[in-house]
Structure 1
Amino acid sequence: MDKSNVVTQSGANSGLSINLHPLAILNISDHYTRVKCTGATVKTLGAILGTQNGRDVSMQNSFELTLNEDDDTKFDAAFLATRRELFSQTFPALSVVGWYTIGAAPTPADVAIHEQFMNANESGPSFFVLFNPDIPDGVKTLPFSVYEAALEGESTAGKFVRLECGIETGEAERIAVDAVSKDASGEADQTGEVPSLTMQRNAIAMLYDRALVLLKYVSGVADGTAKPDHDILRQISALVATLPVMDVNELHTELETEYNDVQLIEYLTTLLQQLEAFADYTDKHHSLHSRDLDDVGLAARAMKSTFAFGASGGHGRVRRGGTRR
């Protein structure tokens, strides 16, 4: 049975709004990474904790599940009940709202596990989150998809129907994700310049991509290949109107000044490094050859004393006739 027989495109869904939180996403991806690194071939799955407020479902956390020892196509329901009870004591506002696994598309085995999960979680909703680690190049969306069991019907029984999902973050989660996303390779940057420059580069790259999309749309409207939307065009015009008007010559002069300042600082830094290396070399040379220099100094002083002694004719008093008393 392939995906087309497991996922139905015509089945009705509950119409709920599903939002994933960064903690749940990180937990699922970390679970997959650890299992892959160990080389295990067992199915990776776990339960998702969250809240439901009316038609809004928020998936905030997760924990791992274990498979039955005698049947690896079913998870341990007793383990699920125990972990659910422990989490309810620590996080009373959260409840089990679904489960997750790894794969490119839902399979018949996922349908069987989902039925078992709905029976074990009768008091709450049961959503199925699928994480696809094989991300194609150029894809910028998160590799997560959310499903629920299609409503009962002759043609939709035992099938999934896909739901739209989004990302929801709180202030604390944004701070944590920002700390995790910082580059931790190499030596620690005490000044924090590298993470700051990395964030600026990513922001500029994102701004460039968005501006390129707007440029392509406006060009398409101009040459007739894109359908004009006056609301979007007005928003683009308002965005362009907010940009400051700058003199091109003044901008070039400012850029040249900034460039020259940066180059001068770089040259001065290189010069200071060379001077420091030269000072280290002279210190090492002095420490290695200080004994030889001291011997040369002693010999020079001895020769000077000898010359002085010969010039005075000795320390005794000289009599007439050249004999010393």
Structure 2
Amino acid sequence: MSADSPSSHVAIGGATSGLTLNLHPLPILNISDHLNRSRLTSSGDIKIFGALLGTESNREISVVNSFELIFGSPDGDVDMAEASTSATRNTSQMLNTAFFDTRREQFKQVFPTLDVVGWYSIGKYPALEDVTLHKQFAEIIETPIFLLFDSEHQPASQALPVKIYEAALAEGGKDEDTKGKFVELVYGIETGEAERIAVDGVSRGGMGGEGEESTVVANLTTQRNAIRMLYERVSVLLQYITAVINKTAQPDHTILRQISAIIATLPTMDAKEFREELTTECSDVQLTTYLTTLTKQLNALSEYADKHNLLHPPPNDDFGGSHGGMRGGRGFAGGGWDLGGGRRRK
């Protein structure tokens, strides 16, 4: 933690821009994972930071993802290997803008609806290097937000180890009082159904088994919960539509239009192309099963033949001996040889 006093870089009662913040669970998990990996690979006091991805509509910001950043010269070359080693605290280090631009474009290709809305770091209170980094981000992003993850958070506490700030706005003639300081923002937690299931799975960890068994059970449990939740939602919609058809419930055209839009996005299950594709796939699966069974039977037959030949070797092909091509007193009756001797029948 910085040697500065806890409130030296926080403006008490500073004016904000009136942002409405919604924080999703994924950035918190990413920052926690980033911190744990840095602690395992670095020694001493560490300093990690990264960018926050989200959406901004009017004055509402939703933070839904994040990615890690590295220190370096502002126009330095991009070195992907530095991302896991550049965690040592150094107030003279600056944001590697080349690396930032590269990662920003990569995430933009995967998540075209998301953009960088701010950045994150660790600490109990904002430090001097946080002010320096925030000024660099402000040159790239318009009014960035700053998420501070408390690495010394006590597990017994019920509050999240997260505080979100923005640069303090000057009020009246108090520009010097708020210059280079942060003001804390109020934020809310926003999660979807899929995110709640994922967070629940992460919180349970390796419960229920060990090794691969635990992973398989956890995955199957997650899938079962997701399918059960989907089934419950569909059942509610089906009950509502049935009630509307039976005129036991008042139709809400807004809800009906939303249901119609959802159904329109689903594939048509009764189409001729679907039935042909399903029949072809079913035939391919059955044919593959038959071929597998046939291969196993042929392999078993081959092993049986090898064992039989080992116990009962085939007769000698040399018919010029005293036994007239017979072995062990026996001859080939079907080959034109008399069972009693070596002369050919007339």
TM-score by length of 1: 0.55
2:64 aligned to 60, 72, 86, which one? Answer: 60
Measured after TM superposition, the shift of residue 16 of structure 1 is 1.0
Counterpart mapping for 1:276-315 below 5 A: none
2:178 aligned to 148, 156, 166, which one? Answer: 156
Secondary structure of the residue that 1:89 maps to in structure 2? helix
Cα RMSD for the two superposed structures: 2.4
Give deviations 1:117-175, integer Å, cap 9, x for gaps.
11122xx4300000002123531011000000001323101100000112111122112
Query: What's the counterpart of residue 95 of structure 2?
Result: 75
Measured after TM superposition, the shift of residue 82 of structure 1 is 1.3
Query: What's the counterpart of residue 201 of structure 2?
Result: 179
Query: What's the counterpart of residue 45 of structure 1?
Result: 49
Partners of 2:66 and 2:98 lie apart in 1 by 17
Distance 1:177 1:133, change over 3 A: same
Q: Say whether 1:19 aligns with 2:22.
A: yes
Q: Say whether 1:114 aligns with 2:144.
A: no
- 8 Å contact 1:73–1:113 — kept in the other structure? no
Partners of 2:140 and 2:20 lie apart in 1 by 23
Partners of 1:109 and 1:94 lie apart in 2 by 27
Distance 1:160 1:182, change over 3 A: same
Counterpart mapping for 1:96-135 below 5 A: 96-121=116-141, 124-135=142-153
Secondary structure of the residue that 2:118 maps to in structure 1? strand
Q: Say whether 1:138 aligns with 2:134.
A: no
Measured after TM superposition, the shift of residue 91 of structure 1 is 0.8
Give deviations 1:190-232, integer Å, cap 9, x for gaps.
888xx89xxxxxxxxxxxxxxxxxxxxxxxxxxxxxxxxxxxx
Query: What's the counterpart of residue 4 of structure 1?
Result: 7
Partners of 1:25 and 1:136 lie apart in 2 by 16
- 8 Å contact 2:120–2:147 — kept in the other structure? yes
Counterpart mapping for 1:135-284 below 5 A: 135-136=153-154, 138-152=156-170, 153-185=175-207, 186-187=209-210, 188=213
Partners of 1:87 and 1:102 lie apart in 2 by 23
Q: Which amino acid aligns with 2:138?
A: M
- 8 Å contact 1:22–1:177 — kept in the other structure? yes
Partners of 2:201 and 2:46 lie apart in 1 by 32
Partners of 1:178 and 1:136 lie apart in 2 by 20
Secondary structure of the residue that 1:93 maps to in structure 2? coil
Query: What's the counterpart of residue 106 of structure 2?
Result: 86
Secondary structure of the residue that 1:99 maps to in structure 2? strand
How many residues are matched? 193
Give deviations 1:1-40, integer Å, cap 9, x for gaps.
4232210112100121111111111101000010011124
- 8 Å contact 1:8–1:160 — kept in the other structure? yes
Aligned identity (percent) is: 48
TM-score by length of 2: 0.52
Query: What's the counterpart of residue 282 of structure 1?
Result: none
Higher helix fraction (1 or 2): 1
Partners of 1:26 and 1:18 lie apart in 2 by 18
